[in-house]
A and B are shown apart, each in its own frame.
Chain A
Amino acid sequence: MNLLPTTEQAEIVSVIGEFLSSEVPIRRYQETINLGTPYSAALWQQFVKLGWFGVSCPEHLGGSGLGIAEEILLAREAGRQLISPTVLATAFTANLASRHDQAGLANSLINGEKRVAIALATKEDNYLMFDGGDADYLLTCHDNKINLFPAAAIAKAETLKGTDESVSLTRTTLTGTPLLKNIGESDVMRLAIGLCAVLTGIAESACAAAVSYAGEREQFGQPIGAFQTIKHLCADMAVRNEAAWSQCVYAGLSLQDEHEDATRKIAAAVEMSARAALENARTNIQVHGGVGFTVEYDAHLLVKRTHVLSSLLDSLIDRRKVLLKQ
């Protein structure tokens, strides 16, 4: 038993982390908010070159043959820089397709030819699609189930103003039948734990931003981080990070090893990571004070993206019911 990354895993994280912070840092939203087409073809190819979409696909399909551990390590890095949910959805679907005898589909996602956007069912029987502008497939989350539709199934699409302006938002109506049949609970849980890891990355990003600002910003003649009121807010953020990440790893590995209580552990990961992300994102704004309330800092984006991801998770797992089941 060891929950720390291996040397190889740490190496992957370091390469991915450097790529994201130099090519698609969270600061990019200052210049290019709400483009609707999240990443250019060239940028998408950089993700392909890093092996992102095939990380857990078999090697004969062009993947790296790794597992859930690596998936959540990547997802956490994606959360730290608020990477488009399209990246996560594409990687998830490539793995899903590879295990459902859809080698062609898997391959087209691994090599970057096709993309998958994620969408959430609303009460009105339509879907809210995130960053779906040029997606080829749609992964829908609805009532603890997921389905995969081709973009051609979109019968109606209406562009909406989103609460989270860092992703484009489209209300869509779908017709036709899904591409993959019999997507089971363990697949739904695999998507869920990935989203939990993204939320944990957001929580960590919020903590890092707050700590950095608290160390620089001076009031009353010293950095505000020297005051216990601020220092202790930051400490509580670190506690939430540790709880969320430890639980993501524990739950993710339980799913990997097919433990019978994996779903329960994932429900706990949902609770801890959603709580950590929202509380930390909120605290980060508080630590920044007035500037944290403006769009000139990224702090507000962490709050808004957290709501998107938490809503997706709520449509994938009934956290309370799972946790209270005897």
Chain B
Amino acid sequence: MNIQFSPDDQLFREDVRQWLADNRPREQRPSVADLAACREHDTAWQKTLFDAGWAGIAWPEACGGRGLSLTRQLIWYEEYAAADVPPGGWKSVCFVGLAHAGPTLIACGEDNHKAEHLPKILDGSAVWCQGFSEPGAGSDLASLRTRGEIDGDHLVINGQKLWTSYADVADFQELLVRTDPDAQKHRGITWVVCDMKTPGITIRPIRNMAGESEFCEVFYDDVRIPLSQVIGGLNNGWRTAMSTLSFERGTAFIADQVELEHDVVKMEQLAREVHIGGRAAIAHDEIAERLAGLKAEVIALKAMTYMSISRNSNQDLPGPEGSIVRLFFAKLSQRISHFGMELLGADGLVYQGKHEELVRTYLFRYADTIAAGTEQIQRSIIGERVLGLPKSR
């Protein structure tokens, strides 16, 4: 057990810090009301990162990455969070490509798939979205019904997907379809790459409770996808999807975990600025106690992230313990922003101006215990796959 970063890691950290200081964009990311502008902004930034060698830090060299350790990737995220730069995690349009589709292709794709897609993910020229959930298949993902019928050397897709972030600005989609309706439900699923420009795709944006529309419904009407775009084998999509989800729950949110530390710092500042009953909020015992608890928890979140990286450095696929960190993160992020709303009091009722960002974050955080598996699903994974408890009969 050690928490020492090697001299080489330290040098790497200094390089990252210096580069970010010199190259970070000075302009704000466009509002998500204009998704095309977001795409332009996020992909241009990704291209800049790629050109400077900061894309795919922990991806294998054969896949276009730097082939460095997860520790180096962590260092990058830590420095990234400390610098004032555009969103690095799930808020970027590049997130699904970098955190889901890319790692899945690396783990399960053939060489031609890797050659076709990975370079474009890394340099930001291709944006990916996810097509997993459906109206009838949420937590019970394996019950998905979007059909993929084989017709010659194509799959013909009919059905509907839901919660697809950035669908209308994406180039490709990681799509789960039912290719064998007669097989047991986990066995008839295929993971396929869908080109979003294929005829027959209709996209309808959905407004979320924060008032923004970055996610969509996607409808498929006789959408033809070459069978060559199947990843991990026909009817073997559940296994491929599980590797996608293990990345999602294991390593995709490292950036967000690291950034949460800064949210608590903001809350502490707010607790010193805001006055309640003639005193700074922080001078009230109950508020101080809660804030101390939240600070302890973000410190622990960092320790858990380190523990998770220590575990994942020794294995190809993140294990089910990823759900522990995901669940801890989700609950904590919600309590931090809720704490901020309480400090704001009536000021939190104004969704513009000084506190707009805090209110938006508060509203957005409701998704944290739903996206990437609800908190209930995460608990079931922990119960069954980490603790070995029996499944319900």
Tell me the A residues contacting B by CB distance below 8 Å: 1-6, 9, 69, 207, 211, 214-215, 221-223, 225-228, 230-232, 234-236, 238-239, 242-247, 249-251, 253-254, 257, 264-265, 267-272, 319-320, 323-324, 326
Taking the closest CB of chain A, its distance from the CB of B131, in whole angstroms, is 28
Q: Which one of A3, A231, A238, A264 lies within 8 Å of B306 (CB-CB)?
A: A3
Within 8 A of A (CB), among B260-290: 268, 282, 288-289
Q: Which residues on the B side are within 8 Å of A268 (C-beta)? A: 295-297, 299-300
Q: A265-B299, A271-B296 are in contact. Are A225 and B304 (CB under 8 A)?
A: no
- Residue in B71, B301, B392 whose Cβ sees the most chain A Cβ within 10 Å: B392
**Is B380 positioned at the interface, with any CB of A under 8 Å from its CB?**
yes
- Bound Cα distance A249, B306 (Å): 10
25 of the cross-chain contacts (CB-CB < 8 Å) are A1-B74, A2-B1, A2-B2, A3-B1, A211-B387, A211-B389, A215-B390, A221-B393, A225-B383, A231-B383, A231-B384, A235-B382, A235-B383, A235-B387, A236-B379, A239-B324, A239-B327, A242-B328, A245-B307, A247-B300, A249-B307, A250-B299, A253-B3, A268-B295, A271-B300
Is B313's beta carbon under 8 Å from chain A? yes
- Enumerate chain B interface residues (CB-CB to A < 8 A): 1-5, 9, 71, 74, 268, 282, 288-289, 291-293, 295-297, 299-304, 306-307, 309-311, 313-314, 321, 324-325, 327-328, 376, 378-380, 382-384, 386-393
Residue from A1, A228, A243 in contact with B300 in the complex, judged by beta carbons closer than 8 Å: A243
Q: What chain B residues lie within 8 Å of A265 (beta carbons)?
A: 299
- CB distance B1 to A69 under 8 Å? yes
Complex: chain A residue closest to B74, CB-CB: A1
- Known contacts A2-B310, A232-B376; is A324 also within 8 Å of B288 by CB? yes
Taking CB atoms, residues of chain B closer than 8 Å to A5 are: 1
A5 to B1, CA, bound (A): 5
Q: How far does the alpha carbon of A215 sit from the alpha carbon of B384 in the complex, in Å? A: 11
With a 10 A CB-CB cut-off, give which of B268, B299, B388, B393 has the most chain A CB atoms.
B299
Given A232-B379, A319-B292, the answer on whether A215 and B388 have CB atoms closer than 8 Å is yes
Contact of A222 among B303, B313, B382, B393 (CB under 8 A): B393
Residue in B309, B386, B391 whose CB lies within 8 Å of A226? B391
With a CB–CB cut-off of 8 A, which chain A residues contact B310?
A: 1-4
Chain B residues contacting A3 (CB-CB under 8 Å) are: 1, 3, 303, 306-307, 310
Give the chain B neighbours of A251 by CB distance below 8 A: 303
Which residue on chain B has the smallest CB distance to residue A273?
B300
Known contacts A222-B390, A271-B297; can you find 9 more A-B pairs with CB under 8 A? A215-B388, A222-B392, A231-B379, A231-B389, A239-B324, A242-B324, A243-B301, A243-B303, A250-B300
**A contact residues around B324 at 8 Å (CB):** 238-239, 242
Residues on the B chain within 8 Å of A221, using CB: 393
Distance, CA A244 to CA B288, complexed state (A): 21
Report chain B residues within 8 Å CB of A225.
383, 389-390
Of B302, B309, B324, the most chain A CB neighbours within 10 A belong to: B324
Most chain B CB within 10 A, of A2, A234, A264, is at: A2
**Which A-B residue pairs are the 6 nearest by beta carbons?**
A231-B383, A271-B296, A250-B303, A235-B382, A235-B379, A246-B303
Interchain CB contact under 8 A, A257 and B1:
no
Taking CB atoms, residues of chain B closer than 8 Å to A250 are: 3, 299-300, 302-303, 306
User: How far apart are the CA atoms of A5 and B4 in the complex, in Å?
Assistant: 14
A271 is contacted by which of B282, B292, B301, B391 (Cβ under 8 Å)? B292
A226-B393 CB under 8 A given contacts A1-B5, A231-B379, A268-B299: yes
